[in-house]
A and B are shown apart, each in its own frame.
Chain A
Amino acid sequence: MNAATREKPFSLAKSRRTIQWLVVIGTIVLGLRHIMPGEASRGGSFDSFCAFGGIETLLPYLFSGHTLKSTNLLNFSVLLGTLGVSLVAGRAFCGWLCPLGAMQDFITDWTRNISGEARHIRGKESKSLLPLRLPASIDRPLRYAKYLVLALVLFASLYAAFPPLREFCPVRAFFGLKMTTLLWLTLVVFLAGSTLVERFWCKYFCPLGATLAIFNKISPVRLVADSHRCNNCGRCDIECSMGIEDVPGKLSDPECIRCLECLETCTRDNALALRVLKT
């Protein structure tokens, strides 16, 4: 197809940023509501709006019929909403609707800006010092840490009174507005990690991401690459915030957060396309 007749692409990146800002503002409002007097009597704590809280309290609820303290039944609905997105479109929740993912993207934009890249040119290798790309020998094994975190949290939830990750949760540290020493420490580690490595928490430690990863293999709405049209230019690899190498060959990779930056970046008509199944 002639490039001149090519349909002007809809800006996925802009709509994603808009949704991310709305999610962050919504989470800040939840945090503010959380510190208002009498909040507990008005229908649940900050934790009860957390999708991962649903996972943390699932086993205690199944075995004892009661949720952990600071969580309630609403956690299961929020978890169901998150699983619904994943059932339809894989880890799209991580790429589009997670407040923590959004904060990490904002931090990356900021660090790129202050470390030598005044304006990011899509598909072009960044000249900024930050964020770093960890060597594969460190990056690959560290990616399994999130599955370990998930297993530990599930095990600990059987014996815990409160959600096990509560005092180490970056969402609470960022938006909860009720800080403890451990949450301050979590916030510092999260900020430092996200400044140094893009999507630091998602790549290495997020147990919710670990849970949703499996859906990338089964979700009907997926990216499909046409090997005849793709010229392996590598623009999508450069833009991948999760650091996936050879993106066109790994579109169902568990690490993919379905942000569609690869699709937005691709300059070849229909080399990458969004499809329902592979039909």
Chain B
Amino acid sequence: MKIHPRYYPAIIIAAYVVFLLLGILLGFGPERGGEGHGRGALMQLACLTLESLA
């Protein structure tokens, strides 16, 4: 399928925003304090689930 070049900037910006928001929703968001953080709540849950499955 051919894409008109005028949609190209919108495609890449949309891809960036969607995946950025996906990351934030997964728990990789900005946190106060700024540095050296541990796992986010969602990641902790995912890790615990994986560990329990193993």
Contacts and interface: CB of A to CB of B under 8 A. Distances in A.
Contacts of B15: 81, 84-85, 87-89
A69 B35 CA distance: 5
Contacts of B11: 88-89, 221
Classify chain B's interface size.
35 or more
A10 interface: yes
B31 A73 contact: yes
B29 A74 contact: yes
A161 to B, nearest CB: 9
Contact of B35 (A67, A85, A89): A67
B1 A89 contact: no
Nearest to A64: B38
B46 interface: no
Given A65-B38, A260-B8, A275-B1, A83 B19 contact: yes
Interface residues of A, number: 53
A76 B39 CA distance: 11
Given A41-B34, A66-B38, A97 B12 contact: yes
Most chain A CB atoms below 10 A, which of B13, B28, B38:
B28
A75 B8 CA distance: 25
Interface stretch (A12-20, A132-140, A145-153, A178-186): A12-20
Interface in B19-45: 19-24, 26-40
Interface in A242-279: 260, 263-264, 273-277, 279
B4 A10 contact: yes
Contact of A78 (B20, B26, B31): B20
A61 B11 CA distance: 31
Given A10-B6, A41-B33, A44-B35, 9 more contacts: A42-B32, A65-B38, A74-B29, A77-B22, A77-B23, A80-B22, A84-B22, A97-B13, A276-B1
13 contacts: A41-B33, A66-B37, A71-B35, A73-B28, A74-B28, A77-B22, A77-B26, A80-B20, A84-B16, A87-B15, A87-B19, A93-B16, A264-B5
